[in-house]
Amino acid sequence: MLGRDGQPASLTQRSALHDWHQAHGAVFKPVAGQQMVACYDQGDREPHALATLGLVDLSLWPRRGYRGPGVEHWLSPRLALPSGVNQARQTERGDWVLRTGAFEYWWLSSLAGASAGQLPEEPAERPADGVYDLNIANSHALIALSGEEAPACLAGPCALDLRPDRFGPACLAQTQVAGINVQILRLHALAAPVFLLFCESSLALYLWESLLLAGRDLGAVAAGTDALEAQLTRARPDSEDGS
């Protein structure tokens, strides 16, 4: 389908959770070029909720994935890469780089600040020995779980011990939550813990509802990107590798 300028018209993506959001009073607004949940009907409660226990759907947030034998050589002039598999590193501009395999990297745009939602242009030329795109923006949903009760919420459904002394800022792991495979990253945040959970898009609704159920007695609520951005603006920047 062509737009008025004769170029292919861009199609707005929809999160796998879009229908759930609509059914629960979500207010959408353009964020990072997509219609994302800004808040729900109880938007005035959301900053407090995220300090206690809140979930935010970030499935449409800009990110890229790359795999191949030449990927490290290709990316290293532009990005400070994690030194080992299952490590994460935050760049000076606030992006996150996750090393999810020996020859695989995920690149997530900054979630707050001037560069939020913007990924720089990738290097122009691919190396001859191969770098291949991973369509992680479509293949994987992304859910943020925030608040002082987040480790307690995950204690039951997650196979890992996520207490701060065991799983600190910038830690990355491949594990299971509610019986499904996830990548989980803990962000740097001063106000309260913030975890990012990546799962297959087809399982996003199951994970979302499982987390709400696991956190029901802890006060879990759904929140939007407005409250999360406000919380992460207070985050402490750090570019060290996770351990």
Mind listing the domains of the chain with CATH numbers?
A: 18-232 (3.30.1360.120)
pLDDT tens digit sequence for 37-60: 999 976 678 988 899 999 999 999
Cα–Cα distance measured from residue 111 to residue 108, given in angstroms and rounded to the nearest whole number: 8
Q: Which of 7-16, 110-119, 188-197, 207-216 tops mean pLDDT?
A: 207-216
Mind listing the pLDDT tens digit for each residue in 150-166? 999 999 999 899 988 88
Mean pLDDT of 16-34: 94
3-state secondary structure 48-99: HHHHHCEEEECCCCCEEEEECCCHHHHHCCCCCCCCCCCEEEECCCCCEEEE
Tell me, yes or no, if the pTM score tops 0.75: yes
Tell me the β-bridge partners of 172. Answer: 185
> Average pLDDT, stretch 145-154?
95
Q: Is the pLDDT of residue 2 over 50?
A: no
Mean pLDDT of the chain: 88
pLDDT for the residue numbered 1: 34
